[in-house]
Amino acid sequence: MISIIVALGQNNLIGNNNELPWNYPADLHYFKVTTTGHKVVMGRNTFESILNRLHKPLPNRENYVVTKNPLWHYPGVQVILDLEKFLKEDHQDEIFVIGGRSIFETALPYANRLYITHIRKAYPGNVFFPDLDLSQFSLVKQKDQNEISFCVYERIKP
């Protein structure tokens, strides 16, 4: 199963240069708890922004980095050269697509579940989530905490 996990600001904002536009420890904790023990799939830019912050891949998760560069390599990290092929494979376990923009765009049509942290406050930024039609999903969980809401959506079966 393919899941997307994303923190979404106003107007679908997700990034500022190669960083998150905000700092919400509660959201980072939610991300960690939700994805620990699972495979996480990310674009090379997002991986580099994680390396800048943690100086290592995400711990206790199987890290997959998407790149077009067949020579790209980082110790302990799996490489995906063909993202569509990977997404079409029959994944019995829950795979978490964690960004950034270009990876979300390719993965969205394959996503069965969305973990969206909605952030109801304006921040400056220049990277946006692709067009999202939430009418194709039903809200199955919501927890509000000040200006952020942790929501889970499941794709409505046709």
Nearest to 65 by CA among 76, 55, 54: 76
User: Closest CB to ligand NAP among 123 and 139?
Assistant: 123
Q: Is 142 in the site for ligand NAP (CB under 6 A)?
A: no
d(CA 51, CA 57): 6
Does residue 4 touch ligand NAP according to CB under 6 A?
Answer: no
Sign of the C-alpha dihedral, residues 96, 77, 16, 149?
Answer: positive
Nearer to ligand NAP, 55 or 157 (CB): 55
> Is there binding between residue 83 and ligand NAP (CB under 6 A)?
yes
Name the one residue in this structure whose structure tokens are 């979404």. Answer: 8
> How far is it, in rounded angstroms, from Cα 6 to Cα 41?
12
Tally Cβ neighbours within 10 Å of residue 19. Answer: 13
86-115: which residues touch ligand NAP (CB under 6 A)?
98-103, 106
CA atoms within 13 A on the CB side of 3: 21
Contact flag: residue 2 with ligand NAP (CB under 6 A): no
**Binding residue (CB under 6 A) for ligand NAP from 28, 61, 62, 67:** 67
Listed ranges 17-25, 56-64, 138-146, 150-158: which one lies at the site for ligand NAP (CB under 6 A) = 17-25
Q: Hey, which residues between 26 and 65 contact ligand NAP (CB under 6 A)?
A: 42-46, 49
Judge whether 80 and 40 are in contact, CB under 8 Å: no
Q: Given the rule CB under 6 A, which residues bind ligand NAP?
A: 6-7, 14-15, 18-20, 42-46, 49, 66-69, 72, 83, 98-103, 106, 127
